[in-house]
Structure 1
Amino acid sequence: MHRVIARSASTSAESTTTQPCCSSASPHVHQDSSPLKGRFVLPAAEWQQLLASHPGKSPEEVLFSLITPASKLARPPISGYHVGAVALAGSGNVYVGVNIEFPGTALNNSIHGEQYLLVNCLHAGESSIRALAVSAAPCGHCRQFYSEIKDADDLEFIFGKDARPKFLNDLLPERFGPADLQDEPFPLLLEQQSNSVAWSPEAEAAMAEAGRRGDSAFAQAAGEALAEAQKCYAPYTRCHSGAAIITTSGGVHSGGYIESAAYNPSMSPFHAAVVAAVTAGGLPDGYGQIREVVLAERPDAPVQHAANIRLLLQAVAPAARLTVLPTRKA
């Protein structure tokens, strides 16, 4: 275990009704008068009301109309290019995804709008996605990322000048996917995962010390990081890991590692936790509101996230602390 860099002294209240919308690293907050109202999820009942208020329009066309307000929630301080993605999930809820960029870091740390969307659905417990509308044609990176989900071939992609659905086989024919790396069937992304992960004795000692200090936020973050590792999607390397962000207002937001058969499109647990934080309104004034990141990962795993997270924090949240809690196979 190692802890680096001091705590941030600033504080800020978290919000769930308004969201940042700017191309800067410290985005301003805008009021959204669209059906989304600055939210990253539109409940099923509101979606049905929206459909009823647009007679003569198909669900795909109405979904397509939400792209513009969704894109205003993006955080692209490097490119200035706002991506909005909107999906109708199996539950009937509609979810939003946007692109996220980290100034002062390599471009491959960016979160693509379609990636954000899939993680948003995952965090909400969705098991399927019916249709996805996005600002522009998904890049190859995202097409590959969506190859990991159950029923990937049935997912409708909507983009371009019309709302005519396209499918993954159209966008990525003869693709490399999960079946190319695994001979036996296994739970795909959005299906339930159960990984045998537990704390090491060193991590248990750190947890006990946190309890003696009365650090409830750290205890919650550590618990969530472990839970994320236990349910993360890492079928190829089995390097199960999870992370939790503690904000300066005391909020805790977590995410788990998500692998791709193509490796490069994989998403770190920190990036997944950033999605959770932005979705919940936990970082309204930018990444400087990250007070601490708690990472749960196996110290002997061939895939490690601590070094990259440390570099990211040095660039976007230099006052934040990184705590790595080692795990073991349960």
Structure 2
Amino acid sequence: MALLVSGWNALHDTLDRYADKRSTNWFLMGSPFTTAAICLSYVYIVKVLGPRLMENRKPFNLRKVLIYYNLFQVLFSTWLFYEIGISGWFTGDYSFRCQPVDISDSPSGTRMVHASWWYYFSKFTEFFDTFFFILRKKHKNVSTLHVIHHGIMPFSVWFGVKFTPGGHSTFFGLLNTFVHIIMYTYYLLAALGPQVQKYLWWKKYITVLQMAQFVAIMVHAFQLLFIDCNYPRAFVWWIGMHAVMFWFLFKEYYDASYRKPREAARLKAANALANGSADVKASNGSAKNGSPNGAAPTASTKPRAADYYINGDLASDVHYRHTNGKANGTTNGTTA
């Protein structure tokens, strides 16, 4: 017991010694355990409690709710993007090579701390991406990638706000909010109904954009390993390795969602063509397999429609499931 008390006191001493004093008394910034508890509760709700409560219930029709929710996320992300940018990145005061944390009470430094704190809260609002999946009984959309992305981000961002609410690390938030503007705009348009969804051919490029985001964050963070910069080395690794992890997770999703189905379609087309040619030779020109002149049925190489999250968009976040070979056509829990 004495050892636990000693460890607890040592942790608080460390937090007090290295934490940014400007946000010490702000809501949820006192201890990481509150944020950790919220994140663990989120995982329990979306993986255990939520599916259990919905097991014998009909899925909710949340189309109007999703429209307002996605509109809110677009506006919130736009405001955060502006605040993070105007606090340094857009004004020319920040360097993309090396930007130490401004720990002063200057207007721009204080504004960046507030922007970072609100960005931290945006990670909690994104929990509703998953909650809406559960309420609509889209449990298959709650994939490992989805839960990891949403479950870990508030806890990770908490440390950034606590120790480095400004400087080099805020580049992550700048890019992430920009991607979320595009991602939630897509979800908003998809929620408006079939008359709009037919124009949303560009959904796979959201995943490409998210992967490009993580590459940019990796390069931006890891460059400090080779530059003499007054920025905590621990946070270089913290941010950089998060970007590496999410890049591989989103790459796995992209391959499963687009590359593998496309390759399977090409292989199917090649086999059908070969079978058709053999049938023609065997029957002296008579058609088989329902194809005149031995031609193979056309096999589309276009990826089937998919269920998307983020987020995500994560994605920003980005999750899909095919059902009986047909597209669910749901986006952020919205039925096509």
TM-score range relative to shorter protein? under 0.3
Higher helix share: 2
TM-score when scaled to structure 2?
Answer: 0.25
Higher strand share: 1
- TM-score, normalised to structure 1's length? 0.25
